[in-house]
Structure 1
Amino acid sequence: MKIIIQSAIKTLNKTEYILSNISNEIFCDTTIPPYNSSIGSHIRHVLDFYDCILKDSSKIDLIARKRNLEIEQNCKNALDYYNEIIEKLGALNEDDLEKIVFVTDDLGLGKTVIKYTFSALMAQANSHTIHHYAIINYILDGLGNSLKDDTFGYNPTTPKVKNFN
C-alpha cells in the first residue's frame, strides 16, 4: 500500500518542477480559453484537495477546501504550500491507508457522503492531480511554453503514441 503514497509524492513532485520553471506572470495568466483559468488556480486546487484529505479525521469535506487566492497568485507561496503537503504525505503510514473515511462531496446533485478507504481516496487524488496537470499543459501550450517532461499530464496507463514519420 505504501506505493500509493510514493505515487502521490512522485506525481506531486511535478508541481515543484512547474513552480521552479515558470514566472509568476505565466503562473497567473488567465488568457487561454475556453475556461480562462490560470496554472496557479489548478495548482492551488490540487494542493487544496490534498490538504483537505490529509487532515487527521475520518470525516473529510471536499467542498470545504481552503481556496487561498494567495497560493494561486505567487509561485513562492504555492511552493511553500506544496512543501507542507509533501511533508504530510511523508508522515503517512500503512495504518493510515487502511482506515475508513467518510467523504462529503457534491457530484452535481448536491452534497453526498461516500464511504472510502483512505488508500482509495489517495488513488483518486493522484488521478485528479494528473488530470489537472493535463489542463496545465494545455494552458502552457496556449501561452507558447512547454515543459521538458513528456510524462507531464499523462496518466501512466495512457498508451504511448508511436511516431509514424
Structure 2
Amino acid sequence: MKRQIISSINNNLNHAITLLDMIDSKTYQDASTGPYYSSIGSHIRHTLDFFDCIINGLDTNNIDLTARKRDEILSTDKEAAKHQIHNLQEKLASYVDVNTDYLIHVTDNMGQGKITVNYTLESILAHANSHTIHHYATIGYILNNLGIEIKIPGFGFNPTSPVNKREGI
C-alpha cells in the first residue's frame, strides 16, 4: 500500500513539474486573483511545506503541520520549486521499504488551537496527497481567472470525481 501511495504522490508532483514547465515566471508569481490574492507559486510552496513538515517530523515521531518554513523562494522561483519537488520525490521513494508499523504523532491547528492525533505514515501521506490535489484545484481557478488554458489531465481533480467532470486544467 505504501508503494502505491508514494507512486500516486509522485505522479501528482510530476503534474506540478509539467505545470511549471508550461507557465512563465510572471504567471507563477501573479497574485491578482481574488478573493484570496494568492499566486500559483504560493500554493506550490504551501503543498511543499506540508510534505516538508512530514519529512522533518518523522525522525522524532512528531510531525507539526503548523511548523511550516514558508520559504518564499519557492513561491517566486519556479526552478527552486522544481528542485524541491525532485528532492521530495527522492525522499519519498526512500520510504518505500521503511518499517511503518507504528503510530506517528501529528499536530495541527483545527481552528481552536493545536491538537495532536495519531496517524500512520500511510495515512499522513494520503492526507498530504489529498491536500495537494485541493491546492491544484485552486491553481486551476487562478489560471482560469488569468485567462490561461493549460491541459494537464486530472490536475486538480480527485480521482473519485466522475470521469465526465474530471478533465483537468
| TM-score clears 0.5 | yes
Paired position in structure 2 for 1:16: 17
Paired position in structure 2 for 1:91: 94
Alpha-carbon distance, 1:99 to partner = 3.3
Q: What secondary structure does 2:12 align onto? A: helix
How many Å separate the matches in 1 of 2:99 and 2:131? 20
Alpha-carbon distance, 1:146 to partner = 2.0
Specify which of 114, 117, 121 is matched with residue 118 of structure 1: 121
How many Å separate the matches in 2 of 1:150 and 1:7? 14
> Superposition RMSD on alpha carbons, in Å?
1.3
> 1:61-87 CA deviation, whole Å, 9 max, x = no partner?
110011000110111111111111111
Paired position in structure 2 for 1:34: 35
> 1:114-133 CA deviation, whole Å, 9 max, x = no partner?
11111000100010000000
Q: How many residues align?
A: 162
Specify which of 104, 108, 115 is matched with residue 105 of structure 1: 108
Q: What secondary structure does 1:131 align onto? A: helix
Alpha-carbon distance, 1:96 to partner = 4.3
Contact 1:102/1:115 (CA < 8 Å) preserved in 2? yes
How many Å separate the matches in 1 of 2:104 and 2:76? 32
**What letter is aligned with 1:28?**
Q
Contact 1:105/1:113 (CA < 8 Å) preserved in 2? yes
Contact 2:109/2:115 (CA < 8 Å) preserved in 1? yes
Paired position in structure 2 for 1:66: 69
How many Å separate the matches in 1 of 2:153 and 2:86? 24
Paired position in structure 2 for 1:46: 47
Gaps of 5+ in 2: none
Specify which of 142, 148, 155 is matched with residue 139 of structure 1: 142
Alpha-carbon distance, 1:12 to partner = 1.2
- Structure 1 pair 34/72, CA: closer, same or farther in 2 (3 Å)? same
Deviant stretches of 4+, over 3 Å: 94-99
Paired position in structure 2 for 1:152: 155
